[in-house]
Structure 1
Amino acid sequence: MPVNTVLGLFARSPIKPLEKHISKVEECCELLIPFFVAAQAKNWEQAEQLRLQISELEKQADHLKRELRLKLPRGLFMPVERGDMLELLTQQDKIANKAKDIAGRVVGRHLLIPEVMASHFSRYLRRCLDATAQACRVINELDSLLETGFLGREMELVTGMIDELDRIEDDTDLLQAQLCQQLHQIESDLNPIDVMFLYRILEWVGDLADQALRVGVRLELMIGRS
């Protein structure tokens, strides 16, 4: 992306690059739904194709992150601190990194979620992705928030959205604990190495929601200093 393009983008809105990045991150994460469907069906060829798509979207998000870090002007007047924006960008990017790691590990070991856990895991995954989608919606409200000077009904809206993000993350913690309990009950019947990796996958899927919440927390800190 040419420097002039980046300058023009930030001149129009300092938030647009963050919105573009988080949208790419969410697109990356949403592919985990069909990815796990393919994996559970032992369609490893399709799962690998989806893993490659996830990896490509993560690369695109990473490219956006690097471009913005390098080309965000230091002297440009903005209503938010440059450092806060870059830190928020970093937190967003970690979500896509985790999605890539999850897909890579599952395909690498042809790892299956035990059948007794499968439906519960699907709910867990969907709820974690609710968190990443909520983080995306919050970031997409920032333009309106800037227009109001971080005041009024728009501020209340964004604060409420971050509160909802916190509630979603609480739900994922509960679902993760229940899944870990299920796995503990059947782990003696499974390959011990697979058990180790299954616990790791449960943790990493939960990290999607945890990291989405960190985006919301980081945004609150940024707003508080603005």
Structure 2
Amino acid sequence: MARSTISSLFGSSPVKPLQTHMASVQECIAELVPFFEAVIQEDWKKARTQQKKIARLEGQADKLKRELRMHLPKSLFMPVSRRDLLEVLTMQDKIANKAKDIAGLIIGRKIVLPEALHDAFMEYVGRCIEASAQAQTAINELDELMETGFGGKELSLLESMIKKLDAIESETDKIQVKIRSAVFAKEKEMDPVEVMFLYKVIDWVGDLADLAQRVGSRFELMLAR
């Protein structure tokens, strides 16, 4: 990546790299919706196309992460440490990595979702993606917050955003419990190995929201320092 391009990524904002990367991450995980729609329809050709798209977008996010990490200035004259920025960057990247892992596992084993799970599972996926979108909304607010010296209405707004993120993550936990209970009720009708991998998919989808919440928690630590 050319130096001029790197400079444009940073711009005048010390959190510009995080915002740029998170936008890339969100683009990646949003593709899980059409992916799971294809899986539910057992349209494996379409699902594989979506899986490849997710892998490509994850690769783009990962490349951007490496470039930003490599070119992040050693010393930054700002109220946010370089270490904090790098930690948030890494946490964001794990969200895209998890999306790639989810799609890869399902395609690799052609995991079929029981019909009884379809509606709840799409709600589950949607809410987990919404958690990540909320983390993106919060990080896009950091510019204004820095301009106000980490105070005033902007701080209250960011805190409310993080609180909403926590609430969304809590909702995904409740949906996960409901889905796991539905799978448990049908375990005897399913292949034991497939059940094991289905539980893994359920857990990994939940990880998307957990990781998004950790991004929000890292913001809170940044503000507390």
Is TM (by shorter chain) over 0.5?
A: yes
Please list, as runs of the form range in 1=range in 2, the aligned pairs for 1:112-191 lying within 5 A after superposition: 112-191=112-191
**Number of residues paired by the alignment?**
225
In the other structure, the counterpart of 1:103 is: 103
In the other structure, the counterpart of 1:58 is: 58
Identity of aligned residues (%): 51
Hey, what's the Cα distance between the residues in 1 that align with 2:25 and 2:180? 27
Q: 1:7, CA displacement in angstroms? A: 4.0
In the other structure, the counterpart of 1:88 is: 88
Contact 2:138 2:161 in 1 (8 A): yes
In the other structure, the counterpart of 2:10 is: 10
Single out whichever of 58-67 and 3-12 deviates more from structure 2: 3-12
TM-score by length of structure 2 reads 0.97
- Unaligned runs of at least 5 residues, structure 1: none
Contact 1:169 1:210 in 2 (8 A): yes
Hey, what's the Cα distance between the residues in 2 that align with 1:23 and 1:117? 30
Specify whether residues 148 and 197 from structure 1 end up closer, same or farther in structure 2 by C-alpha distance, changes over 3 A only: same
Q: 1:11, CA displacement in angstroms? A: 5.1
Hey, what's the Cα distance between the residues in 2 that align with 1:16 and 1:198? 38
Hey, what's the Cα distance between the residues in 2 that align with 1:107 and 1:152? 48
Hey, what's the Cα distance between the residues in 1 that align with 2:30 and 2:9? 27
Hey, what's the Cα distance between the residues in 2 that align with 1:47 and 1:190? 22
- Unaligned runs of at least 5 residues, structure 2: none
Hey, what's the Cα distance between the residues in 2 that align with 1:54 and 1:175? 24
SS of 1:12's partner is coil
Q: 1:73, CA displacement in angstroms? A: 1.0
TM-score by length of structure 1 reads 0.96
Q: 1:41, CA displacement in angstroms? A: 1.0
Q: 1:203, CA displacement in angstroms? A: 0.2
Hey, what's the Cα distance between the residues in 2 that align with 1:71 and 1:190? 50
Q: 1:17, CA displacement in angstroms? A: 1.1
Hey, what's the Cα distance between the residues in 2 that align with 1:58 and 1:9? 18
Specify whether residues 35 and 159 from structure 1 end up closer, same or farther in structure 2 by C-alpha distance, changes over 3 A only: same
Hey, what's the Cα distance between the residues in 2 that align with 1:189 and 1:119? 20
Q: 1:79, CA displacement in angstroms? A: 2.7
